[in-house]
Structure 1
Amino acid sequence: MPDFTDNYLKQLEKNAMIYVVVVPIPFVEKDSFIIFTNTKNRDFTFADIEMILLSVKRIGLELKHFEDEKKIKEQEHAFALAEGMRTVVHQVGAPLAAIHNQLDNLAKGRIPQELISKRSVAIGHQIAYSKRQLTSFQRILELDVKPIIPVIAPIENFTSYLIYKSMAFRAMAESKGIHIRVKNNVSNEKFDNFYTDEKLLDEVLTCLLDNAVKYSFKSTDLARNKIKFDPSYYGSDGNILIDPNNNFSELTFSVTNWGCQILEDEKTKIFQRHFRGSYANEFSPLGSGLGLYLVKKIVEALNGKIEVLTEKNKATFFVKFKK
């Protein structure tokens, strides 16, 4: 029994409490106990003691369960960090190795003169991809220690903004025989005074376009899969389509591509950390399952939401922002 002080005993006496039962809490690693007190005019009965012991046992089990859950979460977090580091090494290391090989071949004259320009463009794509991956991983690591805090400023012409940002991916898309098109189906004036964090929105659009190109069919695949592709028509199936829309209450844009199939039961899972769809590896073995997880976190921080609609080999990601 604990060594009670005089003050504690006097307080019991003052409140007409005299009978004391001290019960150790089972299943808990640290020494712990619960103190029960009773009034002067009533002793603890056997039934009281039995009920107390059962209650304390239940408390002990609940505390043990809580501690076990805490340990499991700590282990999962440590595993996720280790897995994340392995992913960083793989996602950044593989393109860097490819860049090194390409530069080594150029330096030693192994590339025919007529292919040097094409190989230089490929190296530029690989460098840009590595930089995007590093930016994403840095943001993911930051999410574990601090929330995303947007810095709000106006984007004056949203359609022009989308066209400008898509230009970075056009060469990649055209290397697959497809094109990135931005629909201009509303007047530019309607997009004036859209307030958001442009740097964060850049990350969202970059990831969605990177995925759209990475997981799209080549033009030859479109024909084989009987997708009606007309390269001369900007709205043709097979192209990557960016569609901005604006109304009184919200601004939205969508990114549509034809290629990697997203199964119905995977539509919500693809926004989870480290999840990749069943068919993702067929299109790109380089994938961390972090991009869409990060996109969802950023969109929510910008007071928006994201969802995906699928139709066999067609996928459309909708991003909506309240105004």
Structure 2
Amino acid sequence: MNDHNKDSIKQSVKDVFFQPKVLVVDDEVRIQKACQRLLTEEGCDVEIAENGIIGLEKIDQTHFDIVLLDLMMPGMSGVDVLKKVKSRHPDTVVIVITGYATLEHSIETMKTGAFDFLSKPFSPQELRVVISKAIEFLRTLQDIATEKSRMRVMINTLNNGVLTTDNQKRVALANPAFLKMIGCKKNSVIGQHVSGIIKDERLLEMIDHAISQSEDTFAEITDEISFTPDSEEEKIIGVRCIPFRDRLNRNLGSVTVFHDITSLKRVDQLKSEFVSMVAHEIKSPLNSILMQLNVMLDGLAGELTEKQTEILSRSCDRIKSLTNLSSELLDLSKIESGLINQDREELNLVELIQGQVDLHAEKARQHSIELEMSAEETDIPMLGNRINIEEVVSNLISNAIRYSPDGGRIFVTARAKKDSLMISVQDTGLGIPQAELPNIFDRFFRVKNEKTRFINGTGLGLTIVKKIVEAHHGTIEVDSEEGKGTCFSIFFPKSEYKI
């Protein structure tokens, strides 16, 4: 017998956070003493019971992690003891000790709830092996219970509401924040059908949609729903619902997260009113000026000299820049308020990026810029908002075109890495000075030098790109060398919500 086998129980005991308590229930003194001596040496806390009645009395007084139980004893049989132990203490591991003549009975007891069995006579090593297995099983149960407890505490202390259901739409988890949001005063709703606690038809429809999605579809359903709990003001709740699946992609149920956006909506309302006022007071006059300038440029107000045409054209470009600035400010305010449209669906990144490359191809050709797209696969799935991700890719490509000299090259790449999805846009353009790189995502920041001062822009494009990427739980990196070009790399998490 080697040292590894001798230390098997000791090692298992070290791996758990408690000293295993073992009860040996057997009418043979020889078995009692042998088991007690060996298991005590291995680090277990061991007690003895001469029969089933005494054993049950001890179990009622003290919790035992493991019970070694002889089937054939005078008085109460081991089978009866087993049934009572499992009914009172279902987490206790029971190992049956039996003679060869009752092997079939021991198998039947395993169906009743026994963990394993030892056939008499058994060796010390056989006892070590079965006890080690039992301790490993207890450790697994402990890890599961600890993780469930940790998760329950974390979810119950969240300010956001959380509701999970099984695939029959029965409540599996509902934290206090959720119950308060919907005005539910029940102490426990676990096991109830969602229709018994939720009255909002739209929310029930979202949960039903999430659960009924086919295996080849994975979409996040989002909406804003108004609730009016008893004696309270109306609350506006942002709701996000997704299916919950196992590793075989089977629907196990749904997970729904609730975020109170009442205050944000009120602020957004004020912002919207302000922006609407600014749009009316500024954009309307700008558009009128732009129309008048276009009339003059078209020669309808008289013939223009070459110098006059140049000045008016430059004025038109400036006014268009101001119009774009107001639009981008509106987009940015929506993103920062958390109210940008976040309906998400499973996207094919390759198809989405190719669409943007095709869209900008003509503009690239006008400047003799070679615009290429490459991907290692034809289908790279991602869970995201189509309009937002298209805006990110479009912004980076248009920046690359603007800051690349005629005859340059732009490479757009999509790649699925081990734990993320990557989009990169690389150009052979002007590049960014190293000292300016930390500031390029700041709002209104633009690199200004002799080469860039004639390039129009608002200084908000990269700010918006970063905000959208972060809203999708992604990151963006930039690598640039002045005079050689720039590469923007975006990393998104893979669209896998599985256990």
Which TM-score applies when normalising by structure 1? 0.53
Which residue does the alignment assign to 1:187?
Answer: 377
Matched, 1:215 2:398: no
Percent of aligned pairs with the same amino acid = 22
Which SS does the other structure have where 2:443 is aligned?
A: coil
Q: 2:364 aligns with which of 159, 173, 182?
A: 173
CA distance in 2, matches of 1:96, 1:188: 48
Which residue does the alignment assign to 1:288?
Answer: 458
Which SS does the other structure have where 1:271 is aligned?
A: coil
Which SS does the other structure have where 1:282 is aligned?
A: coil
Q: 2:333 aligns with which of 132, 138, 141?
A: 141
Which SS does the other structure have where 1:267 is aligned?
A: helix
Flag the structure with more relative contact order, 1 or 2, with Cα contacts below 8 A and sequence separation at least 6: 1
Q: Which protein has the bigger helix share?
A: 1
Q: RMSD between aligned alpha carbons?
A: 3.9
User: One-letter code of the match for 1:198?
Assistant: R
CA distance in 1, matches of 2:342, 2:416: 21
Judge conservation of contact 1:245–1:253 (CA < 8 Å) in 2.
yes
Residue 243 of structure 1 deviates from its aligned partner by 1.0
Which residue does the alignment assign to 1:25?
Answer: none
CA distance in 1, matches of 2:438, 2:368: 30
CA distance in 1, matches of 2:345, 2:370: 30
Residue 296 of structure 1 deviates from its aligned partner by 0.7
Judge conservation of contact 1:207–1:295 (CA < 8 Å) in 2.
yes
Residue 162 of structure 1 deviates from its aligned partner by 1.0
CA distance in 2, matches of 1:102, 1:153: 42
Judge conservation of contact 1:245–1:251 (CA < 8 Å) in 2.
yes
Q: 1:199 aligns with which of 380, 387, 405?
A: 387
CA distance in 1, matches of 2:301, 2:390: 38
Residue 258 of structure 1 deviates from its aligned partner by 2.1
Deviation string for 1:267-316 (max 9, x for gaps)? 12100111111338626442221111111111000110111101223100
Residue 256 of structure 1 deviates from its aligned partner by 1.1
Matched, 1:248 2:418: yes
Query: Aligned in 2, Cα 1:263/1:194: closer, same or farther, shift over 3 Å?
Result: same
Residue 254 of structure 1 deviates from its aligned partner by 0.6
Residues 90-101 of structure 1: pairs in structure 2 closer than 5 A:
101=293
Residue 253 of structure 1 deviates from its aligned partner by 0.9
User: One-letter code of the match for 1:291?
Assistant: G
Which SS does the other structure have where 2:352 is aligned?
A: helix
Gaps of 5+ in 1: 1-80, 112-124, 220-237
Judge conservation of contact 1:243–1:255 (CA < 8 Å) in 2.
yes
User: One-letter code of the match for 1:217?
Assistant: P
Residues 58-77 of structure 1: pairs in structure 2 closer than 5 A:
none
Gaps of 5+ in 2: 1-273, 304-316, 495-499
Q: 1:317 aligns with which of 467, 480, 488?
A: 488
Judge conservation of contact 1:95–1:130 (CA < 8 Å) in 2.
no
Q: 1:264 aligns with which of 434, 444, 450?
A: 434
Judge conservation of contact 2:290–2:319 (CA < 8 Å) in 1.
no
Query: Aligned in 2, Cα 1:248/1:240: closer, same or farther, shift over 3 Å?
Result: same
Query: Aligned in 2, Cα 1:283/1:94: closer, same or farther, shift over 3 Å?
Result: farther
Which residue does the alignment assign to 1:60?
Answer: none
Query: Aligned in 2, Cα 1:281/1:265: closer, same or farther, shift over 3 Å?
Result: same
Work out which of the two has the higher radius of gyration on C-alpha atoms and give 1 or 2.
Answer: 2
Q: 1:153 aligns with which of 345, 367, 384?
A: 345
Residue 175 of structure 1 deviates from its aligned partner by 1.3
Judge conservation of contact 2:336–2:467 (CA < 8 Å) in 1.
no
Residue 196 of structure 1 deviates from its aligned partner by 0.9
Which residue does the alignment assign to 2:237?
Answer: none
Which TM-score applies when normalising by structure 2? 0.35
Judge conservation of contact 1:260–1:279 (CA < 8 Å) in 2.
no
Q: 1:275 aligns with which of 445, 456, 465?
A: 445
